[in-house]
Structure 1
């Protein structure tokens, strides 16, 4: 099984830190965010990794190269200027990913064990998404748990998921957001969910990045 790390976003809210640097290359605990994901995937036995690139993508490619120095094999999916949004980026990379794969947002920091995703049994056309309790910046949430009614409380999509490739069947290549697809497929009962309570941080602003690094430094003293 392979995994895809989404790293093509512009990172506008992280300016000026992302003026000349892709957001997933910003450092947490002394390492680029994306390196933490690579180490987590390697620990779970997932060594085939695809990274999509757009804004300042050469900096990611120059740092990780083919992944061999990190004990993995990395392929790159170069997108058009401005990127293809989340679903569009995944669809373009499908030829590199195989029949079933994990996807992780490159701009989150988490201790979620991705090996649990690799052990799931999904039927053709299905997906599984990981939800977390709503952070302050997304207090209304995104999705209900799949076994509950649509009127149940909503939780926030963590940016961690697994898909069967044919989940995206019939969607044309091009710029395409993921959220509307997930909502439609969830209503069709083609998505299973879980609620994760462990560490998860969305590095959405410079202030959040500083706060996370301060927390981690304090925890290690």
Structure 2
């Protein structure tokens, strides 16, 4: 699943007429980078959630985009703007898309640039065998998030509260999930989110971490949360 429903307020005026995931880095829309990487790794069946100017995303990629030298993907769209008049936040959007997803699935944000991240089958199979409900890739803290989000225990468990100030990292948005994470006791929204309930992801992850149901690893490759026009300009330089 590619998360692409955000308004991109901090990216204005660039996002007044273009959805943030379609802003280009080195000649490609931001969201196309992970879409190509997923297709290259054999994960070509995707769900894209949309809201702000979402029709532009559907027009750009259609239902079966062909990525040169990579292959053809298959895309289903979860149009939160059309169905509910606005984005449902991360967890609300994932639950809305559950009927389109498998029992285990990747999620990444369409506005994060991590050009060297590999969505490997080995990572997928290892997660399936682990029995965990989520596996997160964390990154060293960028300047705009100096305190980080989560910690990593020596045995690979993700920690709700970091064990030391220098052991906290930032959530990259890249993760593997089981559908069971988005069901009781961690999430009370019915599958498919028929009422269009807005819900953030962090409380669900923290509750699952407290029950040792989330693992994590550190990713040290290039990674940028493209949250401002300045960050986009730096990438394109």
Gaps of 5+ in 1: 215-221
Measured against aligned partners, the alpha-carbon deviations of 1:94-142 in whole angstroms (never above 9, x if no partner) come to 0000111000011000021111532323355611011000000000000
TM-score by length of 2: 0.85
Residues 1:117 and 2:128 are matched in the alignment: no
In the alignment, the residues of structure 2 paired with residue 69 and residue 156 of structure 1 have an alpha-carbon distance, to the nearest angstrom, of: 33
What does residue 72 of structure 1 align with? 73
Question: 1:35 pairs with 32, 38, 49, which one?
Answer: 32
Question: 1:126 pairs with 109, 133, 148, which one?
Answer: 133
What does residue 168 of structure 2 align with? 154
**Secondary structure of 1:121's aligned partner:** helix
Question: 1:175 pairs with 187, 198, 201, which one?
Answer: 198
Name the CA shift for 1:189/1:33 in 2 (closer, same or farther; >3 Å). Answer: same
Name the CA shift for 1:26/1:68 in 2 (closer, same or farther; >3 Å). Answer: closer
In the alignment, the residues of structure 2 paired with residue 134 and residue 121 of structure 1 have an alpha-carbon distance, to the nearest angstrom, of: 24
In the alignment, the residues of structure 1 paired with residue 211 and residue 135 of structure 2 have an alpha-carbon distance, to the nearest angstrom, of: 13
- CA-CA distance at 1:67 after TM superposition: 2.3
Question: 2:21 pairs with 11, 24, 46, which one?
Answer: 24
What does residue 102 of structure 2 align with? 98
CA contact (8 A) 2:63 2:74 kept: yes
In the alignment, the residues of structure 2 paired with residue 93 and residue 18 of structure 1 have an alpha-carbon distance, to the nearest angstrom, of: 24
What does residue 82 of structure 1 align with? 86
Greater than 4 Å deviation, 4+ residue runs: none
In the alignment, the residues of structure 2 paired with residue 8 and residue 126 of structure 1 have an alpha-carbon distance, to the nearest angstrom, of: 24
Name the CA shift for 1:8/1:117 in 2 (closer, same or farther; >3 Å). Answer: farther
- CA-CA distance at 1:180 after TM superposition: 1.2
Q: What is the number of residues matched between the two proteins?
A: 211
Question: 2:213 pairs with 184, 190, 215, which one?
Answer: 190
